[in-house]
Every structure is written in structure tokens, then in C-alpha cells.
Amino acid sequence: MPHDLARLLDDLVSAATHDEVPSADRLLAVLGTGDDELLDVVAAAARVRRRRFGRRVKLAYLVNLKSGLCPEDCTYCSQRLGSSAEILRYTWLQAPEALDAARAGIDAGASRVCLVASGRGPTERDVTRVCGVVARITAEHPGVEVCACLGLLSAGQAERLRDAGAHAYNHNLNASEDAYPDICTTHDYADRVATVRRVQDAGLSACSGLIAGAGESPEQVVDVLLALRTLDPDSVPVNFLVPFDGTPLAGRSDLTPQHCLRILAAARFALPRAELRLAAGREIHLRTLQPLALHVASSLFLGDYLTAEGQDAADDLAMIADAGLEVEEVTPPTGARTAHVVPRRRGAGTEVAPNA
Ligand code: SF4
């Protein structure tokens, strides 16, 4: 390994070990490494991952409580205002259907269930509805973490979710502050930061991450990683753009599998304490390098995403085992593709069995 690269990686591993914030220049240097340096970068990030998370992989399972029909205009999102993406569109699932979907993910090995609803933010009635589902999941599955993701929160809503038994709340920053006006005009970056802080103030575990592949520069990737470091969420999903037809970013494909690994490594160095979660788009952009990514990230969403299908849950479990890693289990699992977007047509909101 070239001396400069070895020193860069040693410095980053050392900073992570001592919980120091890495400089923007060093994170930029990681994003600028070449393909012949990739395995050295991954190995260094894997050292950071192993020190805190060992070989465990936490599985999270998404339940889309309300799909599409959002009044917001986030450019990367298939549920946005004006989207003609061929996604499922439905309003709130009834509680039994939401519980069935959650149960399928838990039975397949998920130790976290993420209850998600499209929209700017919940009404008090929406929160009441979600609190009911949270309470039933936690009563039925002690030890399983429930995370809610309902958009921008108003005063008191995080506390209501906490009191119902929610463990966490997800609200992604998604992009750097300077990139934000280009990806959304109906709310702003400060709104997003305020909700993450509201969650933390209520004592909920904060989950906040980013999306890569939406046209951001390397500097903007570093900016959002350091902004997340300042916010200090407990978990950080890393999404890769799912370029749905019918959205402004349709067909966009700026990412290579190698660059996805560099982004994940930079995230690992910037956020050494956080659970780093492989999220939507991993099959499209990481493709056959997903197992390497698991040596950097410590978590993934099992099976399908909110509006796109993922690879089969059984393949996720086999991939984890093949990589020499172990699922963090609350309930032992009952069971053990693609370069194009497949709209979800199974699971929550359909009559078809979920992919779990
Ligand atoms: S990311 Fe959320 S707020 Fe933005 S358009 Fe999609 S569902 Fe709506």
C-alpha cells in the first residue's frame, strides 16, 4: 500500500478509535481513492466496524403504513408530489395488516421494525393511529425495536410515540445544507434538523441518514456526513438513489459499486459509533459488492423497501452468512437481482405475501 494511503487510513482508524471527528479533507481523500486502493479502504473501515459491532448484523424491516400521495416534492422520491412512478398508492393500513407485515419481518430475523408513512408530517390522529400499532408490536414482540418515520414532527408528538413504546424515530437529513434547495422546495434542511433534535430531546433514539447518487458532489457527501456527526444519531441509513421512472431523477446512475463502498467507508470513519445501515438501492448500485459493504456497515433493511422490491430476504440472510457475519437475533429466523427498478407489488397494502 502506498505510504500516503497507509498513513491516511491509520489516521482515520485512530481518530475513530478515539472518537475524534475526522477532518473534511481526510474524508474527501477517502472518496477520492482509486479502485486499486479500494480493498485497503474497506479493510480500514472494517476495523472500525469490528471494534464496535463485531460480526453482528442488525436486520431492520420496513412496513410502509401509507404509500405515495405525498404533498412534498423531494426529487429522489417515488412518493413525491406529481410522481407518476408506478408504485403502490394507499392510505393508512389497518392495524391488523400492519401487524401482519411487522410479524413477517420479525419472523425472518428482524430485530427492528420501521413503521413509515409518506407525508410532510403526522396529524395528532395519525400519531394516535401509529401509537396503537407500536404498542401492539412491542407487547407481542418484547425486545424488538420499533422505529417510526412519519415526517416532520410537531411539539409533543415524539413524546407520544415514546410513551407508546417506540424506541426510535427516523428522519434523514438526506443531503447537505447547500444541496437541499435543489432536492426539495416544500420544506428545508432546518426543518429536518429540528425534527431530529426534537426526537433526541424526547429521549428517543435518533435515526438519520443520507441518500447518495442524487447528483451531489464529494464535498456535499462529506458535508452531510459531518452534519450527521454533529447531530450524533444512533443509526444512519445510507440510501442509494432508486431512479424511478416518473420522478425527476429517473434513470440517473452516477454511482459505481466501488464508489458506494468509498461513501460507506467515509461514513464509517465519520460516524464510528453509529449503526450504519445499508438501505434502498443497495442491490442496484452495490450489486455483487454488497457482501463487502457488510464489512463496513453493521445493519441492513431486510427484503423490500418502501416502494421498490429488494432482493429476496432469504438471499439477504445467505449473503450475511457467506460473509462470515451473524444476524443479531431477537427471534431466531424461521427461514434462511437486479439492475433495474422493480416497483413493490407484495407485502403491506397488497394481497400478496411479503418478501420476508
Ligand atoms: S421523502 Fe418523504 S416527504 Fe419527501 S416526497 Fe418522499 S414521502 Fe414525501
Closest Cα to atom 2, ligand 1: which residue?
Answer: 118
In a domain, 333, yes or no: no
In a domain, 277, yes or no: yes
**Residue 211 to residues 79, 201, 344: CA-CA distances in angstroms?**
15, 25, 20
pLDDT at 338: 39
**What residue has cell string 438519520?**
208
Pocket test for ligand 1, best of 70, 92, 149, 186 (most atoms within 8 A of CB): 70
pLDDT at 35: 95
In a domain, 338, yes or no: no
Closest Cα to atom 4, ligand 1: which residue?
Answer: 74
Catalytic residue among 131, 184, 207, 260: 207
Measured from CB, residues less than 6 Å from any atom of ligand 1 are 70, 72, 74, 77, 79-80, 118, 151
In a domain, 125, yes or no: yes
Look up the pTM and report it. 0.93
Domain hosting residue 275, numbered range: 3-327
In a domain, 350, yes or no: no
User: Is-catalytic flag, 277?
Assistant: yes
pLDDT at 333: 52
Give the cell for residue 309: 422490491
pLDDT at 337: 38
pLDDT at 340: 57
Q: Is the Cβ–Cβ distance between 222 and 178 less than 8 Å?
A: no
Q: Is the Cβ–Cβ distance between 61 and 108 less than 8 Å?
A: yes
In a domain, 233, yes or no: yes
In a domain, 117, yes or no: yes
pLDDT at 2: 77
pLDDT in tens, the chain (356 residues): 777 999 999 999 999 999 999 999 999 999 999 999 999 999 999 999 999 999 999 999 999 999 999 999 999 999 998 999 999 999 999 999 999 999 999 999 999 999 999 999 999 999 999 999 999 999 999 999 999 999 999 999 999 999 999 999 999 999 999 999 999 999 999 999 999 999 999 999 999 999 999 999 999 999 999 999 999 999 999 999 999 999 999 989 999 999 999 999 999 999 999 999 999 999 999 999 999 999 999 999 999 999 999 999 999 999 999 999 999 987 655 554 334 577 788 888 888 888 88
Cα 96 to chain centroid distance, Å, stands at 25
Residue 80 Cα, ligand 1 centroid: separation in angstroms? 6
In a domain, 353, yes or no: no
Taking each helix axis as running N to C, give the angle between helix 24-31 and helix 218-231, from 0 to 180 degrees, rounded to the nearest 10. Answer: 130
Closest Cα to atom 5, ligand 1: which residue?
Answer: 80
Give me the CATH number covering residue 165: 3.20.20.70
Q: What total of structural domains would you count in the chain?
A: 1
